[in-house]
Chain A
Amino acid sequence: MAEQPANKTVPPRSNARVIGWCLASVAGMFAFGFALVPLYDVFCEITGINGKTSGRYESTERSVADMSRTIKVQFLAQNGPDMPWIFRPVARSVEVHPGEATTVNFYAENPTDRDMVGQAVPSLSPSEGALYFHKTECFCFNQQPLSAGQNTEMPLVFIVDQDLPSHITKLTLSYTLYDQGEPQAAVTETTSTTNKTIIDNG
């Protein structure tokens, strides 16, 4: 069966070269599929798609508060599946001026009889506003361990950018708290263990 009837003319290009190019493209596109993951994050950060808020905001200049505008920032909190913690914002909403740093707290309590670790995942609506919402300090940057029965108030410090488009008057920030299982021995007490940060866009 193997006999390949010989064509009299030599092919203009070698098959090996075509296969080589094709396989390179296949490998490239496979890699591209995976590259879409970080690319998507970058894209989200630039455009604010999907309400993904960016990571810790490092202010380069002292921002001046724009006292002429008031923005309502509304907070939502919910638990992921099978997360038994009590989790809610201390204040339902606050009114802020663009440019001023504001601190709010979220209350979390672990009512179970086992030590647990939670991770809050932020999301902002309208997603267009995500570009203009800067968190300088957030409990969502790190995992939050709570031992059995313990409760805590977790801080969030944020600045609404002065460049927030004028048609946006209200921002809704939502946190979903997920169960991350048992705390590991190395990280028990402190919340500032940065190497446990698994969410770099939070």
Chain B
Amino acid sequence: MRVHAQRVGALLGGLLFPALSMADWTVNMTPGVTGTSNDIFNLHMTIFWICVAIGVVVFGIMFWSIFAHRKSQGAKPANFHENTMVEILWTLIPLVILVIMAIPATATLIDMYDTTESDIDIKVTGYQWKWQYEYINEDFGYFSNLTTPSDQIRNRQAKGENYLLEVDNPMVIPVGKKVRFLLTANDVIHSWWVPDFGVKKDAIPGFINEAWTRVDKPGTYRGQCTELCGKDHGFMPVVVKAVPEEEYNTWVADQKAAAEKERELTQKDWTMEELMERGKTAYATACAACHQADGSGAPPAFPALRGSAIATGDMAAHIDVVVNGVSGTAMQAFGGQLNEADLAAIITYERNAWGNKMGDMVTPKEIFDYKNQQ
């Protein structure tokens, strides 16, 4: 009971002091960690208090009328019903208030449209249902997938601290640098939002949008896709790690090395066990959202793979579906999204998991050759 009483107290406190922020009962916007987000926060509070002031005056007069001019109190109705002067007055006064609101809003907006040179450009591409981040000046990029296990979502496991707001590969940016985001989408419209940065921009297929930020405080910042993009719209979070510059530089070097290693992985000789092991993980991130972890799918949109004609049929056809997708359906072309090792592992896994017993395998090198020759 005590906990509940505290919560009610917190709720009331929250109602009275909107600037107050609490762990669970957060009632207000975050001031964030960038100049823009702070500007927005101040603007938000200014407008909010102006609205509160107007509300207090108008509702005050109204409640007083309701209270004092009740018939049961013997109130006799007055006879007035128009006054042009008053009408003009309450047209002009709000107009002035609006101008007062518009001035700081305009200044903030102009600042947000700053197009001066940036230090780092990151291309953000929205996919159903993941983000791709490409560091276009550094020649590497990767996908960022939700890592919250399905068991947590389906309530079979306790939910973790960052439930639904955790990814395998967060975006990494250096602090104190101007980072420019170039946003586009592959399939439908998505929207990339990090509340702490005050950045929200739509990612539109075929079009490019830009936004920028400069983060001064190192930390991990979390947001979500904010434009309805289909089934898993609620399951494609945005996670950005802001790190000191040296750490960022090390990270970039590591990423480049890793990209090189991926290329080597393609050339390496793989055993069935290695492929199956890698395939299980890769399948969970890239395929399980639609086809389910047990390969049962969600027909008719997402066919089952367990015992399916593709996964238990001709190898070449199976590779074709995974690499090139099936146009007109939700099956995407994964050839451009996954590296050869993952593609080979996933295909091998699909042919040999959940009772599919094809016994055959495809190596990353074969996929590499397939992609380059066909």
Q: Which residues of A contact B (CB under 8 A)?
A: 50-51, 72, 74, 76, 78-84, 92, 111-113, 121, 123-126, 128, 148-149, 167-170, 172, 174, 176, 178-179
CB atoms of B333 and A50 under 8 A apart: no
CB atoms of A169 and B117 under 8 A apart: yes
A112 to B208, CA, bound (A): 28
Per-position 1/0 for B296-333, Cβ under 8 A of A:
00000000000000000000000000011111000011
Residues of A within 8 A of B136 (CB): 74, 76, 92
Residues of A within 8 A of B208 (CB): 51, 76, 123-125, 172, 174
Per-position 1/0 for B155-197, Cβ under 8 A of A:
0000000000000000000000000001010110000000000
A178 to B333, CA, bound (A): 13
CB atoms of B205 and A80 under 8 A apart: yes
CB B340 to nearest CB in A, in angstroms, measures: 13
A167 nearest CB neighbor, chain B only: B115
CB atoms of B206 and A167 under 8 A apart: no
Using known A-B contacts A51-B207, A74-B121, A82-B333, determine if residue A111 contacts B187 with beta carbons closer than 8 Å.
no
**Considering only CB atoms and an 8 Å cut-off, how many residues of chain B contact the other chain?**
33
**Apart from A78-B125, A172-B182, A176-B205, 16 more pairs, CB < 8 Å:** A51-B207, A51-B209, A74-B121, A76-B123, A81-B327, A82-B326, A83-B333, A84-B323, A84-B333, A112-B374, A113-B374, A123-B184, A123-B208, A125-B210, A126-B210, A176-B206
Q: Which residues of B contact A (CB under 8 A)?
A: 113, 115-118, 121, 123, 125, 136-137, 182, 184, 186-187, 205-210, 323-327, 332-333, 335-336, 371-374
Main secondary structure of the interface of B (DSSP, over half): loop
A74 to B210, CA, bound (A): 13
CB atoms of A112 and B324 under 8 A apart: yes
CB atoms of B186 and A80 under 8 A apart: yes
The 9 closest A-B pairs by CB, nearest first: A174-B208, A82-B325, A123-B208, A125-B210, A123-B207, A82-B327, A113-B374, A125-B208, A82-B333
Using known A-B contacts A80-B205, A82-B324, determine if residue A149 contacts B373 with beta carbons closer than 8 Å.
yes
A128 to B372, CA, bound (A): 39
Residues of B within 8 A of A174 (CB): 182, 184, 207-208
Using known A-B contacts A74-B121, A81-B186, A111-B372, determine if residue A121 contacts B333 with beta carbons closer than 8 Å.
no
CB atoms of B371 and A111 under 8 A apart: yes
A186 to B136, CA, bound (A): 39
- Which among A51, A82, A148, A168 has the greatest number of chain B C-beta atoms within 10 A? A82
CB atoms of A81 and B325 under 8 A apart: yes
A149 to B374, CA, bound (A): 7
CB atoms of B335 and A84 under 8 A apart: yes
Using known A-B contacts A81-B187, A149-B373, determine if residue A50 contacts B115 with beta carbons closer than 8 Å.
no
A17 to B372, CA, bound (A): 70
A50 to B332, CA, bound (A): 27
A81 to B371, CA, bound (A): 17
Residues of A within 8 A of B333 (CB): 79, 81-84
A80 to B207, CA, bound (A): 11
CB atoms of A81 and B332 under 8 A apart: yes
Residues of A within 8 A of B371 (CB): 111
CB atoms of A168 and B206 under 8 A apart: no
A168 nearest CB neighbor, chain B only: B115
A12 to B341, CA, bound (A): 81
CB B199 to nearest CB in A, in angstroms, measures: 15
A124 nearest CB neighbor, chain B only: B208
Residues of B within 8 A of A72 (CB): 117
CB A72 to nearest CB in B, in angstroms, measures: 8
CB A169 to nearest CB in B, in angstroms, measures: 5
CB atoms of A170 and B182 under 8 A apart: no
A8 to B177, CA, bound (A): 81
A19 to B115, CA, bound (A): 53
CB atoms of A125 and B325 under 8 A apart: no
Residues of A within 8 A of B137 (CB): 92
Residues of B within 8 A of A176 (CB): 184, 205-206
A112 nearest CB neighbor, chain B only: B374
Residues of A within 8 A of B125 (CB): 78
Residues of A within 8 A of B325 (CB): 81-82
CB atoms of B184 and A179 under 8 A apart: no
Q: Which of B121, B326, B336, B374 contacts A79 (CB 8 A)?
A: B336
A81 to B373, CA, bound (A): 21
Residues of B within 8 A of A125 (CB): 182, 208-210
CB A85 to nearest CB in B, in angstroms, measures: 9
B187 nearest CB neighbor, chain A only: A81
CB B212 to nearest CB in A, in angstroms, measures: 10
Residues of A within 8 A of B335 (CB): 84
CB B139 to nearest CB in A, in angstroms, measures: 8
A169 to B335, CA, bound (A): 35
B182 nearest CB neighbor, chain A only: A172
